[in-house]
């Protein structure tokens, strides 16, 4: 009879994380904070909370850039790190921008559809990257180009939202106003999220990876 395998120590998974993984978790922490800030703004109406949430997305972008550099510097890239990076990016550059847009006033029925589409595109884009990374690398240890725009490009949308919030153009005063299309409202500004999501899942758009 074989002896039972020894049980892992408490938090043994965390002990196995590399330095780059902690930067990835910091990315996810910032994205989660941005979602909570959007919820807090919807609850209390304090614009400062919304601006704080928007400021966390550029910080998440910094952590996202550093984790890859640190992994290459220490030569400790792993499958776990790649998956962790994708999950963090979904939060910070997919769910969080959509939540911030909703808090800014994109709350019509068509807006919900578009923002959900945007998040779905981000998830799909990251999943495709993870399963095709080895093919795109073409035998080297580095991916040479992106298929479709990387999900962190949604930072540009958040910057636009921050400018709009700073101008006080929230709710009914949102840029480009709103349209009534059938039973639901559409804020034309949400179409920027539709465009961003569509560019993420493009198969023909190739962007060199620095």
Q: Decide if 3 is inside a domain.
A: no
Phi, psi of 208 (to 5 degrees): -55, 135
CB 204 within 8 A of CB 146: no
Number of compact structural domains in the chain = 1
**Closest CA relative to residue 81, chosen from 155, 9, 13:** 13
**Closest CA relative to residue 111, chosen from 54, 188, 208, 56:** 188
Range of the domain at 63: 16-208
pLDDT tens digits for range 72-98: 655 666 666 678 888 999 999 999 999
Q: Decide if 121 is inside a domain.
A: yes
* 137 pLDDT above the threshold of 60: no
Residue 74: partners with Cβ closer than 8 Å, 6 or more residues away: 18, 19, 20
Q: Decide if 85 is inside a domain.
A: yes
The CATH number that applies at residue 47 is 1.20.120.1760
> Can you give the pTM of this predicted structure?
0.85
Task: Give the pLDDT of residue 87.
Answer: 92
Residue 153: partners with Cβ closer than 8 Å, 6 or more residues away: 93, 196, 199, 200
Query: Residue 131's pLDDT band (boundaries 50, 70, 90)?
Result: confident
Q: Decide if 10 is inside a domain.
A: no
CB 18 within 8 A of CB 79: no
The token pair at 83 is 């998956």
Reduced to 3 states (helix: H, G, I; strand: E, B; else coil), residue 185 is: strand
Distances (CA, A) of 115 to 86, 145, 149: 19, 27, 17
Return the beta strands (E) in the chain as ranges.
145-147, 179-181, 184-186, 206-208
The token pair at 152 is 């962190």
CB 144 within 8 A of CB 137: yes
Locate tokens 């959509």: which residue?
A: 98
CB 165 within 8 A of CB 51: yes
pLDDT tens digits for range 3-28: 555 555 555 555 566 667 788 899 99
Q: Decide if 4 is inside a domain.
A: no
132 CA to centre of own chain: 20
Q: Decide if 11 is inside a domain.
A: no
Q: Decide if 58 is inside a domain.
A: yes
**Closest CA relative to residue 109, chosen from 193, 194, 185, 187:** 185
């Amino acid at each position: 009879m074989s002896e039972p395998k020894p049980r892992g120590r408490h938090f043994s998974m965390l002990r196995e994380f590399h330095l780059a993984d902690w930067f990835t978790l910091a990315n996810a922490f910032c994205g989660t904070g941005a979602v909570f800030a959007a919820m807090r703004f919807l609850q209390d109406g304090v614009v400062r909370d919304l601006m704080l949430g928007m400021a966390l997305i550029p910080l998440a972008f910094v952590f996202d850039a550093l984790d890859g550099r640190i992994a290459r510097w220490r030569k400790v890239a792993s499958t776990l790190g790649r998956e962790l990076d994708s999950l963090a990016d979904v939060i910070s550059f997919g769910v969080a921008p959509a939540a911030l847009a909703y808090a800014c006033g994109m709350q019509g029925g068509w807006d919900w559809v578009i923002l959900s589409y945007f998040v779905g595109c981000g998830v799909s884009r990251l999943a495709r990257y993870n399963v095709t990374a080895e093919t795109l690398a073409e035998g080297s240890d580095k991916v040479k180009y992106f298929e479709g725009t990387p999900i962190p490009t949604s930072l540009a949308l958040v910057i636009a939202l921050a400018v709009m919030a700073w101008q006080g153009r929230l709710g009914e005063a949102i840029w480009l106003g709103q349209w009534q299309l059938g039973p639901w409202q559409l804020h034309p500004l949400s179409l920027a999220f539709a465009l961003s999501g569509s560019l993420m899942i493009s198969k023909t758009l190739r962007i060199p990876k620095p």
